[in-house]
């Protein structure tokens, strides 16, 4: 089939979109699951990546996987709930590797519990890791970013848009992240910083999905609740992040990019 000439004109330079050489990218929660997929993908595109997480063994395995594939990676052990330590860690990262081009906030904690049985500390724990943690890494990164042109990306979830049973803490935290992204985009745009979010649906082979899919029946129910009738891959989320951090998305800020197979549309009825 011949592609009409009108469709081949004025197309963006895709080779530039895939080129992260010389870029420095920080991923909090980059030592497993979706965050690791993002780190591996951006490193394969040429970025020098720094990964933040609590567990040193996970950081070592994650950086080793990237280095073995020919990429550049370093790991930093820190809890995103500790604002002072986050600022210290990102300053050390800046000192060792230079100004930061992009930071992706993917760290999160989750468990399923009825709201009536949720302790105040259980609620606070998830708000602190997801929402406060995202604010901590974004605000600590702000003075260390290469401006103009830097990008901040939060990893949110369909729970920000749709109420879900047993998820009051995560729904509240992710809804807070969506609004935080919009507020920071508004305030920091003039500084040359774009702030966006990616909202993954159920992603295969992740901690998040295994917590959600307590039985094969629930796993089938979750898959059927997507419009595409399949789970996504960490690579799908990494592609969305790579686009949002690229020059091709240079006029995109304050946006939530749904990369969820249509999960947020709420196809929760029986077939």
Nearer to ligand HXC, 109 or 261 (CB): 109
Taking the C-alpha atoms of residue 236 and residue 245, their distance in angstroms, rounded to an integer, is: 15
Q: Does 140 bind ligand NAP (CB under 6 A)?
A: no
The closest of 61, 58, 64 to 78, measured between CA atoms, is 58
Rounded to 5°, the CA angle 20-23-24 comes to 130
With contacts defined by CB under 6 A, name the span among 18-26, 55-63, 201-209, 246-254 that binds ligand HXC.
Answer: 201-209
Nearer to ligand HXC, 141 or 263 (CB): 263
Site string for ligand NAP, 76-115 (x = CB under 6 A): ---xxx------------------------xxxx------
Q: Which two tokens stand for residue 218?
A: 């629930």
Nearer to ligand NAP, 32 or 161 (CB): 32
Q: Does 237 bind ligand HXC (CB under 6 A)?
A: no
Does residue 22 come out as left (phi exceeding 0), alpha (psi in the -120 to 50 range) or beta?
left
Residues numbered 194 to 223 that lie near ligand NAP (CB under 6 A) are 200, 202-203, 206-209
Count of residues of this chain found to bind ligand NAP when the rule CB under 6 A is applied: 29
Query: Of the candidates 110, 136, 199, 246, which one interacts with ligand HXC according to CB under 6 A?
Result: 110
CB burial string 26-51: b at 16+ within 10 A, e below: bbbbbbbbbbbbbbbbbbbbebbbbb
Site string for ligand HXC, 59-98 (x = CB under 6 A): ----------------------------------------
Alpha-carbon torsion, ordered 48, 51, 57, 61, to 10 deg: -40
Instruction: Find residue 50's DSSP bridge partners.
Output: 26, 74
| Partner in contact with 53, chosen from ligand HXC, ligand NAP, none, beta carbon below 5 to 8 Å by kind | ligand NAP
Residues 268 and 225 sit within 8 Å (Cβ to Cβ): yes
Taking the C-alpha atoms of residue 164 and residue 247, their distance in angstroms, rounded to an integer, is: 36
The beta-strand segments (E) located in 141-192 are 150-155
Taking the C-alpha atoms of residue 28 and residue 154, their distance in angstroms, rounded to an integer, is: 10
Site string for ligand HXC, 157-186 (x = CB under 6 A): x------------x----------------
Contacts of 106 (CB under 8 A, 6+ apart): 27, 28, 29, 30, 33, 34, 35, 38, 155
Q: How far is the CB of 79 from ligand NAP (least distance, A)?
A: 4
| Partner in contact with 111, chosen from ligand HXC, ligand NAP, none, beta carbon below 5 to 8 Å by kind | ligand HXC
Q: Does 134 bind ligand NAP (CB under 6 A)?
A: no
Binding site for ligand NAP (CB under 6 A): 28-29, 31-35, 52-55, 58, 79-81, 106-109, 129, 155, 157, 200, 202-203, 206-209
Binding site for ligand HXC (CB under 6 A): 108-111, 113, 119, 121-122, 125, 157, 170, 202, 207-208, 211-212
């Amino acid at each position: 089939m011949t592609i009409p000439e009108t469709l081949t004109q004025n197309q963006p330079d895709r080779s530039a979109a895939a080129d992260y050489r010389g870029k420095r990218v920080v991923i909090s929660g980059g030592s497993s699951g979706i965050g690791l997929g993002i780190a591996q993908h951006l490193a394969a595109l040429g970025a020098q990546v720094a990964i933040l997480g609590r567990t040193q063994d996970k950081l070592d395995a994650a950086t080793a996987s990237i280095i073995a594939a020919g990429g550049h990676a370093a790991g930093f052990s820190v809890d995103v709930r500790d604002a002072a330590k986050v600022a210290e860690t990102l300053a050390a990262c800046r000192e060792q590797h230079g100004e930061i081009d992009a930071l992706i906030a993917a760290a999160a904690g989750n468990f399923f519990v009825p709201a009536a049985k949720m302790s105040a500390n259980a609620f606070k724990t998830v708000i602190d890791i997801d929402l406060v943690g995202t604010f901590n890494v974004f605000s600590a990164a702000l003075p260390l970013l290469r401006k103009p042109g830097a990008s901040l990306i939060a990893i949110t979830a369909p729970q920000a848009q749709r109420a879900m049973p047993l998820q009051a803490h995560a729904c509240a935290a992710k809804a807070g992240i969506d609004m935080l992204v919009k507020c920071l985009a508004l305030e920091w745009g003039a500084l040359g910083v774009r702030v966006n979010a990616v909202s993954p649906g159920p992603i295969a082979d992740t901690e998040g999905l295994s917590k959600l899919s307590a039985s094969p029946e629930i796993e089938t129910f979750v898959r059927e609740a997507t419009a595409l009738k399949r789970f996504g891959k960490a690579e799908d989320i990494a592609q969305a992040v790579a686009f949002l951090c690229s020059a091709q998305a240079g006029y995109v800020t304050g946006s939530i990019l749904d990369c969820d197979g249509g999960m947020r549309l709420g196809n929760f009825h029986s077939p």
